[in-house]
Structure 1
Amino acid sequence: MKKTYMLAAAVLTFVAADAQAIDSTGCGLGSMAWRGVSGPEAQILAVTTNTSTGSQTFGITFGTSGCDPDGRVTGGTQKMVLRFIENNMEQYALDAARGEGETLDTLAGMLNMDKRTFAEKSRQNFARIFPDGNVDAVYVTGKIFEVVKA
């Protein structure tokens, strides 16, 4: 019976790890050592290394091992906005220029902002977000966060 539980736990661990995003291990020594390697095995090894060495806690405290020195949790919203912009940048540019549209409403929801406020900030700062036709999604996402903070 005990072996059955152990086997079930092992299988669930691999299934759950496989369902996570490639970069789901965060910062820390393990995350740095296994960076660029995909698959559940690499993620499990990275998390195990982070946990067993305490490097993630140390890194968060002192800003080492790829952790944000300000202690911010990075990723979540910024990654979600980046993915959205990667797939909708042209439509976002059109909507931002007009100050209305579905992409503005969606982004306002992602950023937990009032739709009108976000739409107006996007319209007013269009030239800052899109200074020329050679911007990429990372640049646009960064500018969106700058505009939102202002």
Structure 2
Amino acid sequence: MKKFLAAAAFVAAFSASSAFAVDSTGCGLGSMIFRGQRGLVPQILAVTTNGSFGTQTFGISTGTSGCSQNGTISGGTGRMFAFLENNMEQFAIDAARGRGETIEAIAALTGTSADKAGDIIKENFAFIFDSHDVSAVTVTLKVSELLA
């Protein structure tokens, strides 16, 4: 069971980085199956489905599954993931205080005021950082959900 969970976590983390397009899950079969659902679990399942079965690549190539051959990558979620992946330690410090440069950067990426983002992130610190080894993917999805 531990091997299965480890493999699922790896696939989710690996798949997630390529799925940040229009929203946090992009397009593809997984995004269509879980469309309209909110929260961390449906997003992870959508991303995992897209990455595991190659439906996102197929959808982009054929213009199906909610994908466009002429699509533009414009979502701030992908940029947030890249930022957090390189700044997790400082973000955790700033999140606990509700202010700091990383909070300001996240606020700018989401179009939220730094004060509002700081308050929300500080209030939800335990939710965002629910374990000592939380991944940048998980933090990105949770922060995106909170600031949406």
Q: Same fold (TM over 0.5)?
A: yes
Deviating 4+ runs (over 4 angstroms): 26-29
Q: Structure 1, residues 87-113: CA drift from partner, whole Å, max 9, x if none?
A: 001100000001110000111011111
Q: 1:32: Cα distance to partner?
A: 2.5
Q: Any stretches of 5+ residues in structure 2 without a counterpart?
A: 1-17, 29-53
Separation in 2, partners of 1:140, 1:75: 20
Residue identity opposite 2:85 in structure 1? E
Q: Which protein shows a greater Rg?
A: 1
Q: Does 1:32 align with 2:31?
A: no
Aligned residue for 1:132, secondary structure, equals coil
The 5-angstrom pairing of residues 1-150 of structure 1 reads 32=57, 50=61, 55-56=62-63, 59=64, 64=65, 67=67, 76-149=75-148
Structure 1: state its 5+ residue gaps. 1-21, 34-45
Structure 1 residues 133 and 118, CA gap change in structure 2 (3 angstroms):
same
| Matched length | 98
Per the normalisation by structure 2, the TM-score is 0.55
Higher-RCO chain (CA-CA 8 Å, sequence separation at least 6) = 2
**1:3 corresponding residue in structure 2:** none
- The RMSD of aligned alpha carbons is 3.4
**For residue 137 of structure 1, what is the amino acid of its counterpart?**
A
